[in-house]
Structure 1
Amino acid sequence: MKLKICGMKYPDNIIEVGAVLPDYMGFIFWEKSARFFDGVIPPIPESIKKTGVFVDETIDTIVAKVQKHKLQAVQLHGKETVAFCTELKSKLQNRIELIKVFSILDDFNFDVLKPYESVCDYFLFDTKGKLPGGNGTTFDWKVLQNYPSSKPFFLSGGIGLNEMEAVNEIIKTNLPIYAIDVNSKFEIEPGLKNSNDLRRIRELSLQ
């Protein structure tokens, strides 16, 4: 099971968390976020895919951030259309992984996913809340029993150490869960992660 740690902000903490060797590390380029990243990403192990998180941003801005920070993945957390995703992929010459986020609470119309399947590498399911992400709450994972696609997805939304038992149960199903995405449940403050707790979840996700 892959692990994505999102919402990184502080250089020293980025290096510290990099030593945990997550598969993905997320940097939020949405100015309204308490975890907004506006610095220089320090050197981290090459095995970690640097992921830029954007919310209804322009294609030119996303491309510029990808080039500046040498991102390997882009996560779209807004209302981006299929046409937008297609143009972005083209501009980036298909060199990055594209993750499209869909927010869920108690139910979800999975029909909306079909047009995105051919252009996105992964979906990410997060909890619908006041903010596009980082709300620290889980959604009803039973909704995913109706997932009709074979497209791999990231499971996100309020996942902490206390949720790992439930995570392991859903992983045992036939759902194509590619990774778990963690953020606020591992924070000392917004953007500052507890590396000891992250080491523990890294161990659990490898089991």
Structure 2
Amino acid sequence: MDIRVKICGLKEPEHVAAAAEAGAAYVGFVFFEKSPRNVSLERARDLALDVPVGVAKVALTVNADDAFLDELVDTVPLDMLQLHGKESPERVAEVRARYGLPVMKAIGIAEEADVAQIDLYGAVADQLLVDAKAPKGAALPGGNGLSFDWRLVNRKYWPAPWMLAGGLTPDNVAEAIRMTGARQLDLSSGVESAPGVKDPKLIRAFMDAVKAA
């Protein structure tokens, strides 16, 4: 499949298996206590050990310090770190150098002015995750099921590979691909039956919709 998909916020072995079986290229584990998708390091380690070879294991963190990241990479077998907070470009470069893992930086988009961050962070990150900016006062920096105006990133070319996120579902993913030209997609709430509860049927439906697109 030409388009690579990341299913994020996985908490159960059967949902990791469903994502891999449906053709996901990445699986994501969330380490943020306020999120309904938060998992412990020990739980994530057990889940990661069952991920099939060839599927990338990604850890989502939010403004994490070195102490937590040290413990994370020592405990969980990972392929990539995703920084989903207010980390500066300098911090992204620091994390990348310290751990020797590819780093994906999330960028929140709500208006044209936000797009400039993509070039800024694209110079220091291995990948970018272009997401809907969280509403003011929101408890979560992502995973809110919100999309943004896809015209803001329509057929743009950035200095690093990028992934489209924010409110993607089986029903709108074909339109998202058409409007943005994205070759990588990230979703979490769009394949859930309740906050933090993945639905294997929705995972399969999403992947089928991507293949059809």
Query: TM exceeds 0.5?
Result: yes
TM-score by length of 2: 0.85
TM-score by length of 1: 0.87
Please state whether the residue corresponding to 1:166 is helix, strand or coil. helix
Do the aligned residues in 2 keep the contact of 1:63 with 1:91 (CA within 8 Å)? no
Q: 1:168 to 1:25 in 2, by over 3 A?
A: same
**Aligned positions, number:** 201
Residue 28, structure 1, aligned to residue 30, structure 2: yes
2:129 is the alignment partner of 1:121? no
Structure 2 unmatched runs, 5+: none
Identity of aligned residues (%): 27
Q: How does 1:1-207 map to 2 (within 5 A)?
A: 1-38=3-40, 39=43, 40-41=46-47, 42-93=49-100, 96-129=101-134, 130=138, 131-145=140-154, 147=156, 149-171=158-180, 173=181, 177-207=182-212
AA aligned to 2:66 is I
Please identify, of 97-106 and 60-69, the stretch whose mean Cα deviation from structure 2 is larger.
60-69
Gaps of 5+ in 1: none
Give, in whole Å, the separation in 2 of the partners of 1:118 and 1:128: 21
In the TM superposition, residue 25 of structure 1 has moved relative to its aligned partner by: 0.5
CA shift, 1:169, in A, is 1.1
Deviates more, 1:26-35 or 1:63-72: 63-72
Amino acid at match of 2:143: G
Secondary structure of 1:142's aligned partner: helix
Are the counterparts in 1 of residues 191 and 206 from structure 2 also a CA contact under 8 Å? no
In structure 2, how many angstroms separate the alpha carbons of the residues matched to 1:110 and 1:15? 35
**Which is worse superposed, 84-93 or 103-112?**
103-112
Q: Tell me how far 1:128 sits from its aligned partner.
A: 1.6
4+ aligned runs moved over 6 Å, structure 1: none
Alignment deviations for residues 32-80 of structure 1 (CA, whole Å, 9 cap, x no partner): 1111011132512111111000000113322321231111011111010
Deviation string for 1:75-101 (max 9, x for gaps)?
A: 1110101221111111112xx221101
Contact 1:3-1:179 at 8 Å conserved across structures: yes
Secondary structure in structure 2 of the residue aligned to 1:154:
strand
Q: CA deviation at 1:151?
A: 2.3
Q: Is the 8 A contact 1:108 1:143 kept in 2?
A: no
The structure carrying a bigger helix percent of its residues is: 2
